[in-house]
Amino acid sequence: MLIFLPLEIAFGFLQKIGEYLSGFLLGGDAMRTSGFNFIKPLVKPPVKFLQNTVLDGLPSTATGIIMVLLGVVAIFVVIYGIPVLRNIPPWAANKLAAA
């Protein structure tokens, strides 16, 4: 690590090697994910539904606060509602979040 980290920071050769080798797996630029957001199409319809029906007529500040609170509640429901996620050790969860 003491050898490769400074070299990677200076020249980025590991990234270049990885991109070159990944081209053999899927072909060309298929591994590039810049501009690809798979969460937005999943989240946008429920958010628009809430904004247009349930929260319609409220001031924008109140709507924003309610949406943030609903987001936090949704995160806790997912974490504590799915038994598999409760059994993930913290060190593994940190590695998943960093990936």
- Residues above pLDDT 70, as percent of the chain: 70
Q: What is the DSSP letter of 52?
A: I
pTM beyond cutoff 0.75: no
pLDDT at 72: 92
**Same domain membership, residue 46 and residue 29:** no
**Same domain membership, residue 41 and residue 25:** no
CA 1 to chain centre: 27
Number of domains in the chain: 2
**Same domain membership, residue 52 and residue 84:** yes
Q: Which domain holds residue 7?
A: 1-36
Residues of the chain with pLDDT under 70: 1, 25-36, 83-88, 90-99
Q: Residues of 68-87 as b/e, b for ≥16 C-beta within 10 angstroms?
A: eeeeeeeeeeeeeeeeeeee
**Same domain membership, residue 94 and residue 74:** yes
